[in-house]
A = this chain, B = another copy of it.
Amino acid sequence: MPSLDPAVAAQLDATAETRIASLLEFLRIPSISALSEHAGDVRRAADWIVAELTRIGFEHAEVCETPWHPVVYADWLHAEGAPTVIVYCHYDVQPVDPIELWETAPFDPFVRDGRVIGRGSADDKGQLHMHLRAAEALFATRGGLPVNLRIVFEGEEESTSASLPGWLEANRFRLGADAVVISDTGFFEGNIPAITETLRGMLYTQIDVSGTPTDLHSGSYGGVVENPANALAQIIATLKDRDGRILIPGFYDDVLALDAKAKERMAVLPFDGDAYRESIQCGPLQGEAGYTVLQRTWARPTLDVNGLWSGFQGEGSKTIIPAHAHAKVSMRLVANQDPADLFPKFVAHVRAVCPPGVSVDVQLLGMGNPVRTATDHPVTLAAGRALEATFGRAPVFIGAGGSIPVAEMFVRQLALPVILLGFANPDDHAHAPNESMVLANYETGIRTIAMLWDILGHEGAGSSRG
């Protein structure tokens, strides 16, 4: 069993206070990529990272322009004979609404009861910050790194990574590497160290139902003019049956059935349904018949309404037929579904079930393919050993219900192996109020990353590069 270089360990022990102060400073920047009024904050976060990367010892640190939010690039390529790894994290965050459910201001982060609380603490600024600090400890103690690193930090991950494919194409020349390490995932329930093997894909849409140019008096016209809000509800109700099966014709055509080995790997994981329900305080679990909870969230597609709005939402009553009604509807996809193939099927279904008397449009807001990573890659194996050495137990291999479009892009566009090494605890409230990061995961994870680079620097990544 390897152990962490004592000099690196000592540097990290001595810098704990500065590290947390730096993390809180970073989290205070409200880098919400989805909201255009925060575009300046997203850029401010990028500038902050570039200054840090430069100060630590990276070279060529740069805020790279894209059509929307910038990508941060940096590298350090002087570890002769050692592998080259791309490190990917994202520095943008989710919007904060419903703001009234936060116990404190989401961008005024603080530490309490062993957690850092604030938007982005777990997803993903906290994990990005861990990579900065691991590299800093290595640079500070040795003046260099044991491996060659290329940093790619994105500012649009929470907005479906619209600019990233173009940026990756345009920057192929400086993205040569043996593997990509993506830190934007988490541990298994109960905070068990984990490496993520599969990610679901995504198809994100908006349904817009239109009736009349203005709201109508529901007394005068109720009974003869189709109501866009009722129509929208009818449309949504046809998307999924009571058992969670999606009713869009052709939706399951390309879904790969789980093989026995994958089922077995899921079956042996310690899963406590009561604890799971308790952690999110939900009612009885639902879903497709014939599948376990882990199979449903990792290996089966699903569909959720993410937002609804129409007509009067205020206090009291207003008697109108709303002029229009809207829903954000997203689908999570699994191997081998293709969102580009499913979108027209979705649109055709919505148009077919829309009641007469109103019109309907469907917007495409985002797409990403499902991803499967190699569990026997040398970087995966090294990450497993580093996790075991620092956290005290070997990682389990898990799936994730979420989507990380960039993982699919690295695989598809650059043909690179991707390793999903993330450190968030499942109870971190990512995308929700009171997001937090377990401080022990943050601290130990920094040591895991430093040790991973040392193992790879010593043993190589099993490729011809470096």
Contacts and interface: CB of A to CB of B under 8 A. Distances in A.
Interface of A: 33-36, 94-95, 97-98, 101, 158-160, 200, 202, 204, 211-227, 229-230, 232-240, 242, 244, 280-288, 293, 296-297, 300-323, 325-328, 330, 332, 355-359, 365-366, 400-403, 426, 429-434
- Most chain-B CB neighbours within 10 Å: which of A33, A220, A402? A220
A75 to B, nearest CB: 31
A219 B306 CA distance: 11
A431 B159 contact: no
Contacts of A365: 316-317
A69 to B, nearest CB: 12
Contacts of A97: 312, 314
Main SS of the interface on chain A? Answer: loop
A284 B224 contact: no
Contacts of A225: 280, 282, 285-286
**Stoichiometry (number of copies):** 2
Contacts of A213: 101, 281
A402 to B, nearest CB: 3
A322 B97 CA distance: 11
A223 B244 contact: yes
A222 to B, nearest CB: 4
Nearest to A200: B219
A310 B282 CA distance: 17
A424 to B, nearest CB: 10
Contacts of A284: 356-357
5 tightest Cβ-Cβ pairs between the two chains A and B: A219-B402, A237-B237, A233-B236, A229-B305, A223-B302
A327 B197 CA distance: 40
Nearest to A285: B224
A332 B217 contact: no
A357 B97 CA distance: 23
B282 A433 contact: no
A211 B314 contact: no
A212 B101 CA distance: 12
A208 to B, nearest CB: 12
Contacts of A432: 214-217, 320
A214 B434 contact: yes
Contacts of A434: 214
A330 B202 CA distance: 36
Given A233-B232, A287-B224, A318 B356 contact: no
A304 B311 CA distance: 11
A215 B222 CA distance: 34
B315 A227 contact: no
A221 B36 contact: no
A304 B328 contact: no
Contacts of A402: 217, 219-220, 319
A321 B308 contact: no
Contact of A356 (B94, B217, B283): B283
A135 B300 CA distance: 73
A227 to B, nearest CB: 5
A286 B216 contact: no
Given A218-B306, A284-B357, 13 more contacts: A101-B214, A211-B282, A213-B281, A214-B434, A215-B432, A221-B282, A223-B287, A224-B287, A233-B305, A306-B318, A307-B318, A307-B320, A317-B330
Contact of A310 (B95, B202, B308, B323): B308
A404 to B, nearest CB: 9
Contacts of A217: 401-402, 430-432
Given A97-B312, A300-B223, A357-B282, A230 B288 contact: no
A341 to B, nearest CB: 20
25 contacts: A33-B316, A34-B316, A34-B317, A98-B215, A160-B317, A202-B319, A204-B319, A221-B297, A222-B401, A223-B244, A225-B286, A226-B282, A229-B304, A229-B306, A230-B239, A233-B308, A234-B237, A237-B237, A283-B357, A285-B357, A306-B311, A308-B308, A308-B325, A309-B310, A318-B431
Contact of A218 (B159, B285, B330): B330
